[in-house]
Structures are given as structure tokens and as C-alpha cells.
Amino acid sequence: MNDSLIGIVGAGTMGAGIGQVAAQAGFETLLFDISQEFIDKGAARVRAFLQRGRERGKISADEETRILSRIKPTLELQDLAACSLVIEAAPEKLELKREIFQKLDSLCSPAALLATNTSSLSVTAIAGPTRHPERVLGMHFFNPPPLMALVEVVRGEQTSPATIEQGLDVARRLGKTPVSAKDTPGFIVNRVARPFYIEALRILTDGDADVRTVDRIMKDGGGFPMGPFELMDLIGIDINFAATQSLYQAFFHDSRFRPSPIQERMVLAGLLGRKTGRGFYTYGEK
Amino acid sequence: MAKNELAVVGTSPLAKELAELAHEKGFAVNVHDSARGISSTVSAIIDVEAGNEEAKKTTLRKLDADFSRLPFVLSSCLGFSTSRIASWTSRPERVVGFATFFPLKEKKVIELSSGLKTEEKALSEAEAFYRALGKEPIRVKDTPGLVFPRILSMIINEAARSLDEDVAQAEEIDVGMRLGTNYPRGPLRWADQVGLDEVLTVLEGLQRETGEDRYRPAPLLKKMVLAGWLGEKSGKGFYSYK
């Protein structure tokens, strides 16, 4: 097992971003995905991010080259066998993640940490079918990983205390601020942040205040950097709606997580926020 | 009646801060624990009491006789709809609700609401009053807690539940929300600043007025308020202050 080798499963936005974080922190990084196309897209995203960093004078051309040289793409999951830590950032499908963890569990040393970057699935459920669930944990990074300081280090039912200690330690070595949380729906952030969106949508639904008024009050009367509707437009109405639905399901339809019909209609209409040019607000032509 | 003579009723840090701000802006201000001692010469009354229904009723009933000439009474609608507060006096047309949390200092806007019977004149004079204090008034519809206190109280309620369920420790919840979503303060530290009793008042008000289960307060929040752990002002809340 190689202590300076980190494996990433999935080269999407989160996987590529976490890979970049690892490489920037000095780790040799293996970036796995199932097709060359996904790998190329992920690598291009990292290159573009680092290039912007260099143009803004945040990193030197030398550093840029060194960071990129530490990221090695692979199409063989087998190559991750020597890693001391693997972070999985595959699509949010439980069956897919369980399959990946069963494979990693038999490939990697029992001393290796196997982490999932899931934001909405249970770490306990992902670890369930593995032979060594004690070394499986959640390491939930925030988007975009190179810029967001937080990592939620999540303790599944069977995760050992030593695994959590190591997870906290490696998150710090990646330059992040970790917080540890129990494996419960939404962990800390996605759960506690729900009312910011859900209650704002409820206020809108009931006609208590309009979009602009709510955003204005939350910023100038509440001190939040962004209003809930602006922020939903930035995150993506579909992504935000899916997060609320997932919490609502996970809490067995507790009314405090009930999604908003307004938000569902916007998703169905394709009004997804900034990325489509229109959400709660209208943006430039897209 | 003396122009610019203001009676602030309430004992919270917000009442004191409002009084100080009005004093700075040239008002002659008296702060009262209850409505009983209000001088007959005042030109405006602000009832800052949030959750104590009897105390609020005593203040509002001042409108019935002694203060029937006052153009408006501003009353905190953190825990009651403005229409409900207005129902406690025979002059509901003069009652204007407002809702905000301590501290006022960094807030540019203050939310106001009218009850069903509130007259436009009372509302616009109340707005002029807040402008004189340097705060921009924003009108929203009549619900307990209006917009900001309502949304923040719901966030704090979820944070208190998470703490009670051992999802994470208080510091971790606060660090998570500051770094994960860029909140200016962690919700538990924020609760300590605004006062847990005020937060509970908003949640209980929403639960009472809507009859909806989604507003039920976290048991931990109720217990802490009963124990007198109200946050910074009492020396202990989710954190200790000594």
C-alpha cells in the first residue's frame, strides 16, 4: 500500500475536482472512470481550472505542471489496488456505488480507507455488502472542491473510530477543514440548509412575499451573502429540488422537508436557473 | 403631545438596542418593563415584547383609552400575526407589526406587516418612523416572524434537532454551515446571539397560527428555554459565555 497514493473513482465535476485537490496537496492521484471520454472531460476541467489559477497569479507555471503531472488517468479499477485512500465520486445510485465498493473492498488492502463522496445516500448502505465495512466512510466535499474548504467526514454504523480519525487527518492534509458527522440523511449541511430553501419557497407559495423581496430581506435584513432564490438559481433548481426530495424520502415524508410544487413545476418546465438562462430570475441569453 | 417622545416596552437586548438607536437619532426615549409606566405625553409606542401574550395585551390595551390619539403602535409580530395582536385592542386600525432579531446594528432593512384592519396611514407613519431610525422598511404579508426571523428560526430548529440526535457536535454544525454554505454565522451560535426564547417564540407562533406540524419546535430548544439557557444574554445557550 502506497501512503502517498490516492485513487478517485469518477472523473465528473466532483471526482475531477477532488483529484485536483489531492494533486495540489502533493498526493499522487489516480483518476479512474469507465470511458476515455469521461476521463478526457475531467482532465480538461482540471487543466482549465489550473490555467485560470495561473492567469490570476495564484499558482506558477511550474506548480501547474507539477500538479498536472501528479494526476494519472486510468480505465482499470485494478490500478487503484495500491492506494491508501480511494474516494468514490460516481453517480448517486446506490446499486452502482455498492458494486464499486465491493470491488474496491476485494482489490485494496484492508488497511486502505474507502470513502464515498455521496451527498444523499447512506454510507452505511454503501458499506453494507463489503467484507471490511469498518474502513468505509463518507468524505463529502462541496462544489467546487478546490474552492470549498469543508469536508464532512461521515461515520457509518460500522465505521471504526480509527477510520474516522484517519479520515479527519487526511482531509486536513488535503488542506480542508473537516467536521465529523453521523450517517443520517443529508449529514449536517444538506439537512440544516433545507429550511433556507423550503421555507422561502413556502413564503412564495403563500404569497407572503415575492422572490426579490425575500432575497433582499435575507441579505440586507439577515446578513446572508445570497438570497435563497438567487442561490437556488446558482445551484440549479433541479439539483436543489432533488436534494429536498431525497431528504423528504429519507425522513419518511416528514412535513418539514416537503418539496415545493412551485419548484417541481420549474424543473418540469426546464427553468433550472442560471445554467438555462432562467429560473427565479432571468439571465442573459444562453 | 411631545413630538419625538418614544416609549419602548420590553426587556430584551433588542428593546435596549432600539431605544439606543432612537436616542441617537434625537428621540426622547424611555424603556419600560411593562406598559404601566408609559408617560401620557409619548408620541409613539414600540412593543418589543415577543412571546409574552399577557404583557403584549396590556400594552395594546393602552390604545383603547389613554393613548387613543396615537397614530400607530408598533408591536413585535415574532410570535403572533399582526391581525391577532390587533384583535386585542379596540383600535386595530392603528396596529403595525414588525419582526427582526437582535442585533439591529448591521441590518439595513426592517420588515413590517399590517393586520387585516390596519389603516394605510398607520402603516406609512410607522414606515416613516423606521426611516427616521435609518432603517428601510419593507412590507410583507402578515405571518408570525415575517420573513427573516421565520427562515432563520427554521434553520436553527433543524440545527438543534441535529444536535439533539447526535448528528454532530455544536461546533461542527456551525463550522459546517459557515464553510459549506457560506452562512455568516453558524446557526447555533446565531441562536445564542438572538436569544433562544425569541427563536422558540417564532416557531410556536407559526405552529399556532398555521396548525402545521412542520413548525414544531425541537424538544431540545424547548428544554433549554425552560432551563433559562437563552444564549449570550443569560451566559449560557448552545455555548457558554462568561
Query: What is the ipTM, given to two decimal places?
Result: 0.96
The answer, yes or no, to whether residue B1 has pLDDT greater than 90, is no
Query: Which chain B residues are closer than 8 Å to A214 by Cβ?
Result: 147
**A189 CA: distance to closest CA in chain B (Å):** 6
Catalytic residues of B: 111
A192 and B158 within 8 Å at the Cβ level: the answer is yes
Burial (CB count within 10 angstroms: exposed 0-12, middle 13-18, buried 19+), residue B69: exposed
pLDDT in tens, B8-64: 999 999 999 999 999 999 999 999 988 888 888 888 899 999 999 999 999 998 878
Confidence (pLDDT) at B178: 97
**B4 CA: distance to closest CA in chain A (Å):** 25
Taking residues B84-104, what's their average pLDDT?
95
Architecture in CATH for domain B148-234 = Orthogonal Bundle (1.10)
Please tell me the CATH superfamily of domain B5-139, with its number.
Answer: NAD(P)-binding Rossmann-like Domain (3.40.50.720)
**A203 CA: distance to closest CA in chain B (Å):** 8
Catalytic residues of A: 119, 140, 152, 190
Phi-psi region of A70 (alpha: psi -120 to 50; beta: other; left: phi over 0): alpha
**B83 CA: distance to closest CA in chain A (Å):** 14
Helix-then-strand count for chain B, H and E: 9, 7
**B140 CA: distance to closest CA in chain A (Å):** 6
Query: Which chain A residues are closer than 8 Å to B221 by Cβ?
Result: none
Sign of CA dihedral B55, B58, B62, B64: positive
Q: Which of B148, B167, B213 has the CB atom closest to A218's CB atom?
A: B148
Query: How many A/B residue pairs have CB atoms within 8 Å?
Result: 142
Q: Which of A182, A194, A209 has the CB atom closest to B147's CB atom?
A: A209
Query: Which chain A residues are closer than 8 Å to B144 by Cβ?
Result: none
Residue B197 or residue B62, greater confidence: B197
B167 and A194 within 8 Å at the Cβ level: the answer is no
CA–CA separation, A235 vs A148, rounded Å? 14
Confidence (pLDDT) at A249: 95
Task: For chain B, say whether A182 makes contact (Cβ under 8 Å).
Answer: yes
Confidence (pLDDT) at B64: 84
User: Do B5-139 and B148-234 show the same overall fold?
Assistant: no
Query: Over its length of 286 residues, how does chain A's per-residue pLDDT go in tens digits?
Result: 888 899 999 999 999 999 999 999 999 999 999 999 999 999 999 999 999 999 999 999 999 999 999 999 999 999 999 999 999 999 999 999 999 999 999 999 999 999 999 999 999 999 999 999 999 999 999 999 999 999 999 999 999 999 999 999 999 999 999 999 999 999 999 999 999 999 999 999 999 999 999 999 999 999 999 999 999 999 999 999 999 999 999 999 999 999 999 999 999 999 999 999 999 999 986 4
Task: For chain B, say whether A188 makes contact (Cβ under 8 Å).
Answer: yes
Domains identified in chain A and CATH numbers: 2-182 (3.40.50.720), 193-276 (1.10.1040.50)
Orientation of helix A194-205 relative to helix A261-269, angle to 10°: 90
Confidence (pLDDT) at B120: 96
- Strands in A75-173 per DSSP E: 83-88, 113-116, 136-141, 150-155
Confidence (pLDDT) at A285: 60
Which chain A residue has its CA at the smallest distance from B182's CA?
A: A225
A182 and B167 within 8 Å at the Cβ level: the answer is yes
The answer, yes or no, to whether residue B121 has pLDDT greater than 60, is yes
**B108 CA: distance to closest CA in chain A (Å):** 5
Which chain A residue has its CA at the smallest distance from B168's CA?
A: A181
CA–CA separation, B183 vs B194, rounded Å? 15
Q: Which three cell numbers stand for residue B74?
A: 408598533
B141 and A255 within 8 Å at the Cβ level: the answer is no
Report phi then psi at A216, rounded to 5. Answer: -60, -45
Going from the C-alpha of A270 to that of each of A261, A278, A280, B185, B197, the distances in angstroms are 14, 9, 12, 34, 42
Query: Which chain B residues are closer than 8 Å to A226 by Cβ?
Result: 182
B214 and A255 within 8 Å at the Cβ level: the answer is yes
CA–CA separation, B157 vs A133, rounded Å? 33
B96: nearest Cα among B78, B83, B110: B83
B214 and A225 within 8 Å at the Cβ level: the answer is no
In this structure, chain B runs to a length of 242
Task: For chain B, say whether A196 makes contact (Cβ under 8 Å).
Answer: yes
Confidence (pLDDT) at B3: 64
Report helix, strand or coil for B147. coil
Query: Which chain A residues are closer than 8 Å to B184 by Cβ?
Result: 223-225
A188 and B167 within 8 Å at the Cβ level: the answer is yes
Task: For chain B, say whether A218 makes contact (Cβ under 8 Å).
Answer: yes
The answer, yes or no, to whether residue B2 has pLDDT greater than 80, is no
How is chain B split into domains, by residue range? 5-139, 148-234
Query: Which chain B residues are closer than 8 Å to A194 by Cβ?
Result: 158
pLDDT in tens, B143-184: 999 999 999 999 999 999 999 999 999 999 999 999 999 999
